[in-house]
Amino acid sequence: MLTSFFGKSNPINYLILGIFLVVAYLYAEISQNTVAISLSSIFHHLFFMLISVLGMLLLDFIIRKNQLTKNNTFAIFFYSCFMVMLPIIFLQYKIILANAFLLLALRRIMSLRSDKNSMKKILDTSLWITVAALFYFWSLLFFIPLWIAIIQKPNSNYKQMLVPFVGFFTILILNTAYQLLANNSFAWLFNWKEEIGLDFSAYNSLSILIPITIILAFYIWTGFYRIFKIPALPLKEKPNFILLLYVSLTTLFIALGSPDKTGAEVLFVLAPVSIISANYIESNYKNWDRSNDASEFWFKEIMLWLVVLLPFVFLFL
């Protein structure tokens, strides 16, 4: 049973999901005939395979550090399976890098509730967000949940609200200096902002349309379920969960801001959607005993099997 297997946190779970991502990456590259055997290409692909797996592990670290789910691996299970549903993600290297930096920013945002080293955390977050924006401009929208987190945190003050500007202009100045040294120009600044693409023709492909529809269905279904459960959440869990909802909405707009709609932009949404989906799967269970509610148990069990099997179905679309 997948509920029993991923309902625990065993090293084998991470190994299986890591291999799953690596195999999916290789399939995406080979199917697009982009794999060229050379020393530089080998290091290139190894690097992005590593980034993909580390992104999954970083998400797990964020979840555990902030107790966003119970002690299980459902969130990274959803995250990995959703990624594999859209192999196009593995071909969009800038999006992979931007998402990795936003996960680093999310780690800091969610930890602001502790109110320790707040100024350093806020500065780190703003640096990561701006670096992500160098690869994908609309990553700058992630400053919105950062400011919300600052307002929500204990002992918030106006100085902390200004720190993100310091991080933003630090990266801006450093990159401008690099461009002047490397290219003798700072024209990149005028070309930095990307126009929002309105061409959704790539979504006409069933291999992209169906996975995106499924991911959005999970987002809407589990999101509304958790919103209605907010009053029943323990008081200490409410701020983080409400903040997570803001993050999920922000990532949705970040994805919609993509200049080229290929389906890969959905990667930005996967982390919060995976956490919210995991919250839904783990709810109302006591030690994963089927006798608690057989119909609900099997519904969630089938849901997990669909998520893990659909990527293989989409190979034939």
pLDDT digits (tens, 9 = 90+) for 13-46: 999 999 999 999 998 888 876 556 778 888 989 9
d(CA 232, CA 252): 26
- According to the model, what pLDDT value does residue 184 have? 80
Lowest pLDDT segment from 13-27, 98-112, 271-285 = 271-285
d(CA 68, CA 43): 35
SS3 call for 71? coil
pLDDT at 177 over 60: yes
d(CA 183, CA 173): 15
- According to the model, what pLDDT value does residue 287 have? 47
d(CA 167, CA 119): 11
- According to the model, what pLDDT value does residue 144 have? 96
Q: How far, CA to CA in Å, does 98 sit from each of 122, 124, 139, 150, 267?
A: 18, 15, 7, 22, 10
pLDDT at 221 over 60: yes
pLDDT band of residue 114 (cuts 50, 70, 90) is confident
pLDDT band of residue 291 (cuts 50, 70, 90) is low
If you write DSSP's letter for every residue of 101-150 in order, what string do you get? Answer: HHHHHHHHHHGGGG-SSHHHHHHHHHHHHHHHHHHSGGGGGGHHHHHHHH
Q: Cα 247 to chain center, whole Å?
A: 10
User: Looking at residues 139-153, what average pLDDT do you find?
Assistant: 93
d(CA 299, CA 302): 5
- According to the model, what pLDDT value does residue 38 have? 78
The amino acid at 149? A
pLDDT band of residue 142 (cuts 50, 70, 90) is very high
- According to the model, what pLDDT value does residue 103 have? 97
d(CA 308, CA 313): 10
Mean pLDDT across the chain, nearest whole number? 88
d(CA 130, CA 255): 16
pLDDT at 51 over 50: yes
d(CA 135, CA 175): 12
- According to the model, what pLDDT value does residue 133 have? 96
Higher pLDDT, 210 or 236: 210
Provide the greatest CA pair distance for the chain. 69
Other beta carbons within 10 Å of 272: 26
If you write DSSP's letter for every residue of 180-201 in order, what string do you get? Answer: HHHHS--THHHH-SPPPP---G
Handedness of CA 26, 29, 31, 35 (dihedral sign): negative
- What the block records as the tokens of 259 is 């200049």
- According to the model, what pLDDT value does residue 2 have? 81
pLDDT at 10 over 90: no
The amino acid at 222? T
pLDDT at 292 over 70: no
Other beta carbons within 10 Å of 302: 11
Percentage of the chain modeled with pLDDT above 90: 53
pLDDT at 132 over 80: yes
Lowest pLDDT segment from 25-39, 107-121, 160-174 = 25-39
- According to the model, what pLDDT value does residue 33 have? 65
For the question of whether the overall pTM of this predicted structure is more than 0.85, the answer is yes
pLDDT at 316 over 70: no
Q: At what angle do helices 74-85 and 206-229 cross, to 10 degrees?
A: 150
pLDDT at 290 over 60: no
Lowest pLDDT segment from 23-32, 119-128, 244-253 = 23-32
- According to the model, what pLDDT value does residue 108 have? 93
- According to the model, what pLDDT value does residue 189 have? 84
